[in-house]
Each structure stands twice: as structure tokens, then as C-alpha cells.
Amino acid sequence: MKNKGKQILCAVLSTVLCFGVSVGAAACGEGTTSGGEDVTLVIWLPQEDRQYAEEVTAAFQELHPEKNYTFLFGAQPESDAGTAVLNDVSNAPDIFCCASDHLRKLYNGGAINRLGGALLNRLNNEIDAAAMEAATLDVAGDKQTYGIPYTYNTYFLFYNKAKLSEEDVKTVDGILAKCSEKEQFGYPLNDGWYSSAFLFGAGVTYDVEYDANFGEVKIDTTLDGADGIAAAQAMGRYSNNAGFKGDSNDSKIVAGFEDGSIIAGVSGVWNLKSIEAILGDDMGIAPLPTYTFNTETNEQKPLKAFAGYKLMCVCNYSTVKADALLLAEYFCNYDNQMKHFEMRSYTPTNKKAMQEQKVQDDLCCSVTLQVMANSQSAASVPTTWWTPLESLGNAMITTQITDAGVVSQITSAVANIRKGV
């Protein structure tokens, strides 16, 4: 009998071992189901848009009583959505929000559904032409639209009106004149999305050649030209200034406004509500300032921001594509763009909404449109652009960089950006 007991014990132990193995590997994915009246739609959007999305989808359900919709939301910032979708295309959400500079990669990965027919005609009529252009790819001469632009994706200057005047914020030097080690100007210098503004303002360009699938074949840039180096040296000069906080990012800027260590910072509309909550009426918004390009002649150049759009896309592998297209269009219509504007200050792309008096009067919207008017389109930015710029910024932040140091940093950055040249 004793032997039997041992056997049972052994059996139990081996089963436990087995569970250990299988639990580690168990994974489950929730797909979407179609058919009949029940439709489940998976939607990815930023966490801050959750409330807005819930209200919109509830209204959508009321509009379509013939179907029984279930909406599942995933929190995914637009900036990473393209990458996340491509990581598992077949299990991607039905609808997702992404930045327009992901469009080529998403097309390359076959992830997004092309828009057409009456839907496309309606969108072309209702939405700003430049925005629709940003959602459109030129595939061997054929214009193909793959997403619905619902707002602009760029950045501008936030400042504390109690500390800085409207005149101060016209130039970086004007801002820094009022800044000190205790009250700084926050500018994310180690993030290519922001730091490139110095370079584009000086006329730096990049040029990407694509193959038929929008794979990058050849990448070239004028970053190591005289203008590029002078612009980078200006960045270096500013980063050596005690009032300039190059080591900042969205959350550090908000925290800085809160504890008073930052009196001006470059960020986007996504931070507007949190900064407004801190500064209240003292919150100022302005287009990006100009910077001193040449210290001898005091020549000023503008900071030229990266700019794009935020798109709502439908996954090509969605099993409920018809419903997804319907909902995506609904999300981007006049009413809901106005709702988005009211809830999160997002500048609408809908032509009618743009004409609304309260949109016209809104400072954030007008600043956004001013920045857009003189901006660098993020549509075909090379994928090799970001890390070298991050490294350039890191070098400026951690050392008192010299002009010669900037030149050597630019040389290695360009070597890493260029491809097939």
C-alpha cells in the first residue's frame, strides 16, 4: 500500500510539473466575431481619449439599433500604434488611431484597408484637402487613401504668462533671457521629433527613395552641409545655457510647470489640458520661436516643426470591415470632431468645423494652424532619422559641447542616417 501512495504522489507531482510548463506557454487572443446582429469592434486609441470614445460609440449604437455592438477599447498612443499593429497584423484591432508618418510602413505591412467609393467622396468633400493628402499614398501614380485624418499632429510653445511676455516668446534668446537655472525653458533636445525643428528651420532636408512596397532603398540628407552644422551648433550653444533644459519630455514639462522649474516648454495639444489645469489663465500658447542661427550677424531662423496628421485607420484583416468603416467615418464627422475639440482642444480637420466661430477664436487651433503653415511634413521621414538625432541630443545634454564636438557628432549621425548612397 505504501508503494501505491508513493505512486500517487509521483503522479501528482508530474502533473504539477506539467502544469508549470503549460501555464508558462498558455496564451490566448481574442478575435473579433462577425455575423448576425452581434458585432464586436476592437478600437485602439490613446488613454486620454477613452471618455470621448465611449460617448461617441454610445451615440453610434443609438444610430444603429439594428445591430448589437460591443466596443472593446485598447489604450495605445498614436505615436506607437503603427508599430504595435505591425507586430501582429492578423490580430490587430478593427480600428486604430495612428500618426500619418506610419502610413507607408502600414501599407508595406498590408495592415490598412484602402478607402474608396461613396465613403471616400464624402470624406473628400468634408475634410480639408491637405489633410486628406496626408492620408493618401502615391502608389505608382495611383492615388490611394488609407486613413481618415481627424486632427493635426505637431507641437508649439507653452509658456507662463506671469513670467514671459508675448514679445519674449518670439525668439529663443528672448525666452532664455528670462530663464535661469531655477526657471528653465524645456525643450526635448534628445527627441528627434522636436530637435529636428532647429535643422529644418535652417533648410536641412532628407530624401528617401522607396521601392514599389515603400521599402526604403536609398536615404540621403543634407544634415552635414554648412547650414545643418551651423544649426546643430546653435542647438549646442543653447544646450550649454543654464536656462535651457534639453533633458525634458512631455511629462517633465508638465511636472516643471507644476513646481515652477519650467516657465516655457515645447509640447503638443495632448498636454494642453494638464498644463491649463496648472497655470490656468497664465497659460500662454505661441507658435515656435525663432533662434539665432549666426551669432555674428545675429541672423534669426525659425524653428520649423515636424507636422503630420492623426489618422483613424481600419485594419485590412478586420472581419467586420463594413461596420469598422462606418464607425471610423462616424468618429471623424463634423459633430464628433467638434466634440473632440471641446473635450480635448483637438483642432478639427473637417472643413465646416474649421469655419466654426469658436474654433476660429480658439488660440490653440490658430497656433496649430500657424505652425502647420510653416512646417516639415513628417510623411516620408526616414526610419533611420530618430536614433542618430536622439544621440546628438544626448551628447549635447550630457556635456558642455563645443562646435568641433558638434561636427564630429553630426558626422557619425549622418553615417547612420544615410543608406544606399
Partner 1 sequence: MEPIETTAKQNFFARLWSNIKFSFKRLRERIKSAAMTVVHGSVATKMSVCFMGLGQIMRKQFVKGILYALLEVLFILFMVFFGGTYLFKFLFSGHLGTVQETEQVWDDALNQYVSVPGENSMFILLYGVVSLVVLVLFVIAWAMNVKGSVNNDRLIAAGKPVNTFKQDCALYINRKFYVTLLLLPLIGLTVFTVMPLVFMILIAFTNYDYQHLPPSKLFDWVGFSNFANLFSLADGTGFAKVFLLILAWTIIWAFVATFSNYFLGIIVAKVINRPRTKFKKLWRTLLVIPIAIPQFITLLMMSKILDGDGILNKIIGTTIYWLADTRYLSLLPRITIILVNMWIGIPFTMLMVTGILMNIPQDMLEAAKLDGANSWQLFWKIEMPYIFHVTTPYLITQFVGNINNFNIIWLLTGGGPADSIHYGVGNSKSTDLLVTWLYRMTTDTNVQYAMASVIGIAVFVICGLVSLITYNRSKAVTQEEEYQ
In this structure, are residues 340 and 52 in contact, taking their beta carbons and an 8 Å threshold?
Answer: yes
- Check residue 383 for interaction with partner 1 (CB under 8 A): yes
3 state DSSP class of 32: coil
Q: Does 407 bind partner 1 (CB under 8 A)?
A: no
Note the Cα 103 to chain centre separation in Å: 12
**91 sits near partner 1 (criterion: CB under 8 A):** no
Residues 192-251, interacting with partner 1 (CB under 8 A): 213, 215, 247
Find the binder of partner 1 among 64, 252, 344, 352 (CB under 8 A): 252
Binding span for partner 1 by CB under 8 A among 30-38, 295-303, 318-326, 341-349? 318-326
Return the sign of the alpha-carbon dihedral for residues 84, 85, 89, 94: positive
Q: Are 274 and 254 in contact (CB under 8 A)?
A: yes
Counted residue by residue, the chain has a size of 421
Spatial CA neighbour of 93 closest among 147, 30, 42: 42
Q: Determine the Cα–Cα distance for residues 279 and 324; give it in Å rounded to an integer.
A: 40
Tell the smallest beta-carbon distance from residue 307 to partner 1 (Å).
19
Member of 57, 100, 336, 409 binding partner 1 (CB under 8 A): 409
Residue 348 CB, shortest distance to partner 1, in Å, is 26
Binding flag, residue 116, partner 1 (CB under 8 A):
yes
Encoded amino acid at 411, one letter: T
Q: For residue 271, what is the DSSP state? A: G
- What's the closest the beta carbon of residue 359 comes to partner 1, in angstroms? 32
CA atoms of 3 and 142, how far apart (whole Å): 78
Closest alpha carbon to 69 in 79, 53, 57, 83: 57
Nearest distance from residue 64's CB to partner 1, in Å?
16
- How far is 235 from 401, CA to CA, in rounded Å? 10
Rounded to a whole number of angstroms, the minimum distance from the CB of residue 120 to partner 1 is 10
Query: How many residues sit in the footprint of partner 1 (CB under 8 A)?
Result: 58
* Least distance from partner 1 to the Cβ atom of residue 252, Å: 6
Task: Write out the residues near partner 1 by the rule CB under 8 A.
Answer: 7, 10-11, 14-15, 17-18, 21-22, 24-25, 82-83, 86-87, 89-90, 105, 108-111, 113-119, 190, 213, 215, 247, 252, 316-317, 321-322, 325, 383, 387-388, 390-392, 394-395, 397-399, 408-409, 412-413, 416, 418-420
